[in-house]
Structure 1
Amino acid sequence: MKHLLLCFLIATTCPLFSQGLIKQALSKPHHASANDTLVGCGSFELMKHADRVKPGFLKAANQYLANITNENANRKKTSSGVMQIPVVFHILYNDTSANLADSVIQDQLRVLNESFRRQNTDTVNTRADFKPLVADSEIEFVLATNDPAGNPTNGITRTYSPTKYFGGVLPYDQTQMQEIQDWLNDSLYYNYFRITQDSLGGRSAWNSLNYVNIWVGDLRIFEPKFNDFEELVFFGLATPPANHPNWPTEIYTELGGFQEGILLHYPVIGSNNPNLFPTPYQSYDALVRSGKILVHEMGHYLGLRHIWGDGDCTMDDFIHDTPRSDRSSSFNCNHVANNCVDTILGMDLPDMVENYMDYSSGNCQNSFTQGQIDVMRTVIETNRPYLISTRSFVVDANPAISYYPNPTSGQITIHFNETNSDATIRVFSIDGSLIKTHEVTNSTETKIALGQQNGLYVIQVHSGNGISTFRVLKQ
């Protein structure tokens, strides 16, 4: 069995008669969820699958998010300032329509950054109830300027692929629903992740510790025994952090050679994409062609759940300032709906269709809440720390920590001015590469050697006093 725990957005199909065979299989009663009338996000279904593979996983994964929220409420603020994250777009195409122009990728990056920095013009549409809750994440994304070998790049790769449909070819018809179900469980996710490997018709990842890899290609499934139907099941999907303490490694190892990152169906990239959805999916042209699908998937990549918690009013996304709902908004902008009773800022707030982690139309998505931002920044710092460009490390004057000498001939001493039980110290070169990690336990002082080369180093100290970052010159 080849499975992979992913976090992704599954496309809804249009009229019921246009359902493909995989959607029909996903809509079976044992897959039923709050979104059983449409093919909603598959992340929760795969989380339930992971729970079957590793019993207790679902509880542990949810507890991890709850812990992050509680820790953010009780600890000093995470490091301030803009985090700059390098990304690379891998374009996979079988025909020229999928070989998107640089201008489309650049427009997508603009939408991504405006959304994360709350600089998008439609923030004026955020309802007054939510304005005290939303914020600028101070997370920015830049196209990589150097590839893993150090060569200059524009952050875009282009690869012709003999693979037409990265969703695969389904060899069954509508009378073979059990075989289709088995194929869905055994082959579908393997098919999609061919796009991440050179040897399988895709493009292998750049080091996922240092780049966010975004693959763009044709994610449809071809169903020759169902009137040659080209089924769109996923708009996009994102993997969770591989070093997340509660994501079960059993899920990863079942899909040999999987690559971390985000996969996107090529028509949803950018707001200036010339590709339109074919019949019967053309209604999505007005709903999801805003470039905000990537914003949603990047939220998943950085640890967020769907705002409605993938269930009814008893389910939660573990974010304290997002109102609960018992369903997604299903690509509409209903400003009246208030499906669950909760208390935020002393009020029972309506469903937040403005939130990027809902299934609302791109026309009404315009916000992350501060609670969501705190989780994303914590996941970056804790689970994806090597993504942060050293150019964006903010030097923090933390009175709980002192260090000397600076400049140094090769070694520094870090002194904890307050009682310290444990800390993790990371040393980065100025190009963002991790040099070493040093653990400190029950100590008020530690010595740490820098790298062999002279030059500027970035030191990051994670402790009970928060996160402190400073630069040290070796000469």
Structure 2
Amino acid sequence: MSPENKQSYYFCKKPLLCGFLLCLLSISTTWAQRVRDCAFSPVYQQHVQKIKGAAVRRQAFEDSIQAFVEQRKNRGGRTADRIIRIPVVVHIIHNTADSNRIGGTGNANISVAQIESQIRVLNEDYRRQEGTRGYNTNPVGADMEIEFYLANRDPNGNPTNGIVRRYRNQAVYNIQSDLETVSALSYWPSNRYLNIWVLPDIRNYLGYGQFPASTAVEGLDAYYEDFPQTDGVFIAHQYFGDTGNLADEAYSYGRTLTHEVGHWLGLIHTWGDEYCGTDYCDDTPPTESANNTRFCNDRYSTCVSGQSTRNMIENFLDYSPDACMNTFTLDQKNRVRAVLELSPRRRQLVATTNLLEETEKLVLKVYNHPIRTQTITFEATFKGIQPIEYSLLDLQGHVVYSARQSSQPSSIFSISGVHLAPAVYVLRFTAGTETHSTRLVVQ
């Protein structure tokens, strides 16, 4: 495959995910008739026409990734220096005329529970969490040390639950022509958030993930730097999360997004999108083609001197059904860390994630106390990513405000939009199994 083809968009008619620069999965109603072929997308052809020297740009990016990985290996450092936490905004683009109707069979305006289940799955898979489907005992299996959480601040600094709902009277979207249309409905800066657009349906496919932008080369535009508004993941709502309105049990564990986010982080299919191709990761066995089946049976390839080797069908970057998948490898982790350093938007997103340092135990700190405004701002620090809940109570125990989110890191939170009479209140905060309360005065 030529270098230019190597950086193309792929439309992957079949399970789990799609191609190198974007991933698409088919949504045929008759599963037995699905064709598991990948073809270069007209969308890619449209994009490369806008980019001077796209093939050279793409190959230079790949070369820089490999050089970065080798440099880290040669100096004998840790694969990861720290846990990276990525804020997510989920844009629900639905066609439910009654926007107040949320969740239920056939409703693209999916429930908060379904959204939260997908964030949980991402963290289980990217952290190789014991006791979950994301755990494995593979000797080259890696904890990617990347965590995801629903954003708690919008682009203007206002409190948010990280979920945006937009109505549009359209049932099926075309990846070849509708990406900008969807983004125009709702978009947060892609150098500060991972945008995930959840759609009613996608014609012929399940989802799409945009490959990272590369650094600039003299005389050439940075690859994908011209497309920040579509930088993220687009996915059909029936394949989002592991609870709620799901379409097919073979793809009902939330691994479609795990795979798509892998492409967003710069990973390539294990077979390199060609016969016995390369994904630039030495610890994923050379593979003739995708596991284009609905089964987890072993498959073998003879890519190296006729020697038969087992395909890593359990890798998140194969096309296996969700139940097979549970592995990222150490080399895939090295590659992602390189991409997060070398891709301008990815690097900026990680650098501008204004999170507080975690603490072993829950600690609360109220700002500007006593409080003389109608906004209460406080920080809560604790260990890792936790489900959190906080509430404000008067001294009679009545709850005057409450909020909760399923996956949050240590951060700054605020309470606003509630009329607070001058009085003493109790702020109660729960992170995981820990709960702390503190009194505060509103003047």
Normalised by the length of structure 1, the TM-score is 0.60
Alignment of 1:344-359 (within 5 A): 349-359=309-319
Alignment of 1:276-355 (within 5 A): 276=247, 285-313=248-276, 315-341=277-303, 349-355=309-315
Superposition deviation, residue 335 in structure 1: 4.3
Distance in 2, matches of 1:348 and 1:357, equals 21
CA 1:321–1:275: 2 relative to 1, 3 Å: closer
Alignment of 1:217-232 (within 5 A): 217-221=199-203, 232=204
Matched, 1:135 2:145: no
- Among 249, 262, 268, the residue aligned to 2:233: 262
Map of 1:74 onto structure 2: 74
CA 1:379–1:93: 2 relative to 1, 3 Å: same
Map of 1:9 onto structure 2: 23
CA 1:47–1:373: 2 relative to 1, 3 Å: farther
Unaligned runs of 5+ in 2: 1-7, 10-19, 102-106, 359-410, 413-443
Answer whether contact 2:208 2:233 (CA < 8 A) is retained.
yes
Answer whether contact 2:58 2:223 (CA < 8 A) is retained.
no
Give the secondary-structure state (helix, strand or coil) at the position aligned to 1:158: strand
Superposition deviation, residue 249 in structure 1: 4.4
Map of 2:120 onto structure 1: 110
Distance in 1, matches of 2:192 and 2:43, equals 29
CA 1:323–1:393: 2 relative to 1, 3 Å: farther
Amino acid at match of 1:74: N
Task: Provide the alpha-carbon RMSD of the alignment.
Answer: 3.7
Matched, 1:156 2:163: yes
Amino acid at match of 1:166: Y
Amino acid at match of 2:349: L
CA 1:45–1:71: 2 relative to 1, 3 Å: farther
Superposition deviation, residue 312 in structure 1: 1.3
Matched, 1:364 2:324: yes
Answer whether contact 2:288 2:303 (CA < 8 A) is retained.
no
Distance in 2, matches of 1:297 and 1:194, equals 20
CA 1:373–1:352: 2 relative to 1, 3 Å: same
Map of 1:271 onto structure 2: 242
1:38-75 deviations in whole A, cap 9, x for unaligned? 24475899499849973445544543443343233224
Answer whether contact 2:246 2:252 (CA < 8 A) is retained.
no
Distance in 2, matches of 1:87 and 1:323, equals 32
Unaligned runs of 5+ in 1: 20-36, 168-187, 222-231, 277-284, 395-429, 432-475
Distance in 1, matches of 2:43 and 2:284, equals 22
Map of 2:178 onto structure 1: 191
With 99-108 and 369-378 compared, the bigger mean Cα shift is at 369-378
CA 1:331–1:134: 2 relative to 1, 3 Å: same
Matched, 1:147 2:154: yes
1:9-45 deviations in whole A, cap 9, x for unaligned? 22246569967xxxxxxxxxxxxxxxxx524475899
1:144-171 deviations in whole A, cap 9, x for unaligned? 001011111001000111333221xxxx
Answer whether contact 2:57 2:223 (CA < 8 A) is retained.
no
Looking at secondary structure, tell me which structure has more helix per residue: 1
Matched, 1:214 2:196: yes
Distance in 1, matches of 2:232 and 2:262, equals 12
Distance in 1, matches of 2:132 and 2:169, equals 40
Distance in 1, matches of 2:338 and 2:120, equals 24
CA 1:324–1:245: 2 relative to 1, 3 Å: farther
Amino acid at match of 1:317: D
CA 1:18–1:110: 2 relative to 1, 3 Å: same
Superposition deviation, residue 382 in structure 1: 3.2
1:263-322 deviations in whole A, cap 9, x for unaligned? 11111111112243xxxxxxxx12112111110011101110111101112x20001211
Distance in 2, matches of 1:163 and 1:374, equals 41
CA 1:17–1:146: 2 relative to 1, 3 Å: closer
Distance in 1, matches of 2:252 and 2:170, equals 24
Distance in 2, matches of 1:393 and 1:210, equals 19
Distance in 1, matches of 2:209 and 2:357, equals 25
Give the secondary-structure state (helix, strand or coil) at the position aligned to 1:216: strand
Distance in 2, matches of 1:327 and 1:250, equals 30
Distance in 2, matches of 1:379 and 1:350, equals 28
1:99-131 deviations in whole A, cap 9, x for unaligned? 0110100000000100000016466985x6xx2
Alignment of 1:324-473 (within 5 A): 324-341=286-303, 349-383=309-343, 384-388=346-350, 389-391=353-355
Distance in 2, matches of 1:312 and 1:324, equals 9
Give the number of aligned pairs: 326
Map of 1:454 onto structure 2: none
Amino acid at match of 1:214: I
Normalised by the length of structure 2, the TM-score is 0.64
